[in-house]
Amino acid sequence: MSDAIAASAPRLALFDLDHTLLSGDTDVLWCEYLMQQGLLDSAAFASRNADMAMRYADASVTAREFCDFYASTLAGRSIAEWRPVCERFLRDIVVPLIPAAARALVESHRQQGDRLVLTTATNRVLTELTARHLGIADLIATEVELNSGRCTGRTLGTLNMREGKVTRLQSWLVEQGLPASLLAGAIFYSDSANDLPLLRAVAEPVVVDPDERLLAVAQALQWRVLRLARRG
């Protein structure tokens, strides 16, 4: 791709979802919602859900283990069968947890003419409606495996987590016919040390209400720290 074409491409504004634009974790909230709705056995699952969330926070879980654990909640149904449940989940749980400050942040980049990308380790089934609600057309998420149209409970391809976020974004640029140099010139917002590979790959890393490990790195490297007004 020519330098002229690369120069004319809009800047990428990359956003993590959980604990960044959303005041919570989609996967954890999803499991809690399924248990509340009687679609998941709380006696068997509640403690495993809490343990997985804790291990993600301290980076002691592998990407495959983490993503497959939550994909397992989708097993046995088609995406079409899950859609009405996902729509209620979005309306009742997710939307109320998106603070006005997060919406304003997204809108500020839209007004600047940046190309908005939501990049999340959470699977596409759970995040596609959230991206649409936020008006973000480009979603890079962990993909789920289908067999005869039904979710197998496993993930597919490169997981969009840790180093995988960089790999998937590079592949997405190729698919979109965009210059690879856009990654190095991007801005990326995230709360988690799990996103350090992508934060280190962009021109402007911004940590949002960061966890302790990410805050320490941000302070050492003099990255911008953003605090969003959140309810409760």
Catalytic entry in 16, 25, 191, 195 = 16
Map tokens 């248990």 to a residue: 35
Q: Which of 18, 25, 191, 195 is catalytic?
A: 18
Query: Per the structure block, which two tokens stand in for 147?
Result: 């067999």
Return all residues near 206 (Cβ < 8 A) that are at least 6 apart. Answer: 187, 188, 189, 190, 223, 224, 225, 226
Of 134, 129, 65, 125, which Cα lies nearest the Cα of 99?
A: 134
Spatial CB neighbours of 170, under 8 Å, sequence gap ≥ 6: 180, 183
Whether 195 sits among the annotated catalytic residues: the reply is no
Read off the DSSP letter of residue 73: G
| Token duo for residue 59 | 């980076």
Annotated active-site residue 18? The verdict is yes
* Closest CA relative to residue 195, chosen from 178, 170, 217: 217
> Which residues are designated catalytic?
16, 18
